[in-house]
Structure 1
Amino acid sequence: MFVSTARLALAAGMILTAAACTPPAKPVTDPKVDAVLERSRTTRATYAAYAWVNVERPNEDPTVEWSAEFHSGDKHRVETPADRIVADCAAGTGKIFNIASGEVREGPEYARSACGVNSNNELLEKAHVGARQTPTGPVDRIRVADAELVRIYDIDQNGVILGTTFKLKSENNKTVLSVLKTVVEGDLPAPDIFDEASLQRSVVPDRYKVAPKT
């Protein structure tokens, strides 16, 4: 599984689009990293990925929150306690539902944030940290950075993001978000979860909304 930049930035209540506030910089290219990024953004695998995330907000105690992602073909869905997103990754269209306000917004930026590793902000640093084994199989660990965040991802051979860590540059690379545990299933919870109407309800099973025992 897991977690593209804005998806868990949503959960953390942090930065969605830092690029608009920072001067333009030249993006970097790394063929090995670029291949892993593309794998995450173009996967057609069917999966449900449930994660528990440690979130550190400014002036608050750390909290553990759940987050979930679902994918099949070109369609993707993200859920956090605060927001739900559905996207067509091939068409580059997406809609977000804010649970507190009930507002639905639409735009390509939501597809870019939901479909694989977030591509809303230019990546100024890229590094392939290496391959590693996990209980579900091999992953590529990559490290990328935009103007605000250093992001570390574990991405499996199907393009599923299984692990994510965010570090805030402005606070000496302090870790502000990290995935504690991820469970991946091959079945979706319902057939209509990528429809706009489904944004009005959570499709995450209750057992995945409870923090794992440490």
Structure 2
Amino acid sequence: TGKMFKLLQQFAEIKEFELPKGRAINGWIKSRLVKLNGKASEKAISKLGFILGNDLRLIDQELKKLILFSDNNLIEISDINTLVTEAREGNIFTAIDAIFEKKSASALRQLIKLLDQGSTVGSIISMLSRQTRLMILTIDISKIENDPWEIGKRIGVSNRFALNKIINQSRHYNSEFLYQIHRKLLDTDVAIKRGIIDENVAIEILVSDLSG
């Protein structure tokens, strides 16, 4: 609390430490792996950073589990998919691929899996909307900029795994198509919040509309 903080200031020197951001998260993971005598591929490190962000305590916990799980061998993306609870967030990319490729059955399976793992319908729609918006921005920026890291700066994505997925997905679609997708996502979100439609039914209709 504020009172406790002021009291501590009288007896100790208080230092503030900023949490790592962007690429610095991957650097922190690498240094922590060294201290834990663990090893991980670059792709695995990038995905872990993307999934867990800068929650250093959680990253530390997951690294210890991954090292045990891998029996001190190289940690790969497959290990993270198997073991890390928050890996469900990364599955949103698979769902997007399935929706945009008009594979409605596969898309619905992915979204149901996300729901079973604890994601809410609202968070899924939010993630889909965010990814669609980032793809639209990427398409526009790519017309004048080819450097991936510069594109990442402009859209506010610094994680290599996430950035590569967004850039690769955006190459397969045009802005007009993505704008239509984004509009449907917003309409569905509003309908759910107003109680016009049940959220579980909304997901099925949404997938059918988007991938139909």
Q: Same fold (TM over 0.5)?
A: no
Higher relative contact order (CA 8 A, sep 6+): 1
Larger radius of gyration: 2
- As a proportion of its length, which structure holds more strand? 1
